[in-house]
Amino acid sequence: MDAHVIDSTLFRNDYSTEDTRTLWSARSVLQSWLDVEAALARAEAAVGIIPEGAAVEITRVADASLYDLDELREEMERTAHPIVPVVRAMTALSTGDAGHWVHWGATTQDITDTGNVLLMKGSLQLIEDGLAAVTEEVRRLAIEHRDTVMVGRTHGQQALPVTFGFKAAVWLDELQRHATRLAEARPRILVGQFAGAVGTMASVGEAGLEVQRRMMEDLGLGVPNISWHAARDRTAEYAFLLALVTGAMGHIAREVTILQRSEIAELEEPNPRGKVGSSTMPHKRNPHISENVGALARLTRATAVTALDGVVNENERDWIALQSEREYLARLSCHTHAALVQTAHVLEGISVRSGNMRRNLDLTGGMLLSEAVMLALGRTLGRQVAHDVVYDACMKAFETETTMKAALLADPQVAEHFDEAAIDALMDPEAYTGLAGTFVDRVADS
């Protein structure tokens, strides 16, 4: 069955990737639990809690390929428990009395929490690699288009000239912060769990700390200061970080979508022959990939709320929070990696229509440079008077569908100080991009 879009034969690559589907598959989840059980057994054997031979045998049977997933599912449903059927199956496969020592001193949440952390570790690597790929594409665009002048927009309206390289550098700076966040969060998030029924290690006593240390070293995870059975901030932080990263992809994708509008046509995502925009309008060149990334960003944002709900826990164990994590961690990880892969694809093949950027700079008949004119005029008239003069000229130009230049030259206060050549110089968009290029250089070199 593939009822969920992540696994859907039809839609899975819109919502996930082969790597994340494999990582969070049922057999991989089982393998993560088995890896934890085996590491626990090896650590306990090392300190003399269980026989060395038992640890060897438990490690041998900690291979997901040895187990029938359908049988395990049926037992999980019968027992209403995820780990007891696994422990029983491991015991049955073990030779001698090794099975007596499976899961010694552990509680279910030790296994499932640490298993999830192992899967999150794998996801973080995929996500960091995907983020690096997007970052390099954005860096390339920022450098390549450092001086490609285009309209800067605020409130959906033309504001002042910028460069496309500057716009990409804003994205780049954000992506670099996300890379730093992910790196800084690793030691907080990638921490294992072995603490026993209520987190006190009563089942293994004084040796518990050494077992825990050896076990986590074996798994490549951090050692907690205390049980985090009821402290779900680690998984919540993971969810928030992934929502931020996917949100950044949504930010880029939204800009591509907006700037691909027919009336603007400054950017266009890859549109190879055969890509169809509409079943009934053959002319359409729709930004479907970018829109899909936007949908993934929306879905991950919603998941962050669920993660925050899980931080409020009850007593020493709250199964509601754990069950929520079981559902959203896989979905969230799949969506985030898919968004990264799709955004990288868009940026690798994006069309930058510099000719249309140049055309749109002239769309408002010079009003894009109203600030430059105002400040120049303000040196003699004062800023506020100059603002009023240029405001009146702009409103007249807009309402009479003429140019700002004509309206300015018709004003005696302006004509007294500026001739046509001076106005033309002030209204050159390429001369009014400020430190856009400097900022591109600063971000691209950081």
**Residues carrying an active site annotation:** 155, 278
Question: Buried (b) or exposed (e) across 139-166, using 16+ Cβ within 10 A?
Answer: bebbbebbebbbbbbeeeebebbbbbbb
Q: What residues contact residue 355 under an 8 Å CB cut-off, 6+ apart? A: none
H helix or E strand, kind and range, residue 190: none
End-to-end, the C-alpha distance of the chain in Å comes to 47
Record the tokens describing residue 194, joined without a space: 């072995």
Q: What angle is formed at CA 305 by the lines to CA 302 and CA 309, rounded to 5 degrees? A: 150
Question: Distance between CA 219 and CA 39 in Å, rounded?
Answer: 7
Enter the DSSP assignment of 223: P
Judge whether 247 and 226 are in contact, CB under 8 Å.
Answer: no
Q: What's the one-letter identity of residue 47?
A: V
Enter the DSSP assignment of 261: S
Q: What residues contact residue 108 under an 8 Å CB cut-off, 6+ apart? A: 81, 82, 83, 84
Question: Distance between CA 271 and CA 289 in Å, rounded?
Answer: 10
What are φ and ψ of residue 162, in 5° steps? -130, -170
Identify the residue whose tokens are 């907080």.
188
Q: Which of 363, 358, 376 is nearest to 425 (CA)?
A: 376
Question: Distance between CA 257 and CA 285 in Å, rounded?
Answer: 11
Record the tokens describing residue 270, joined without a space: 């890859």
Q: What's the one-letter identity of residue 406?
A: A
Record the tokens describing residue 22, joined without a space: 């494999």
Report the half-sphere exposure of 389 (CA within 13 A, side-chain side).
25
Using H for helix, E for strand and C for coil, what is the string for 391-426? HHHHHHHHHHCCCHHHHHHCCHHHHCCCCHHHHHHH
Q: Which of 141, 113, 285, 137 is nearest to 215 (CA)?
A: 113
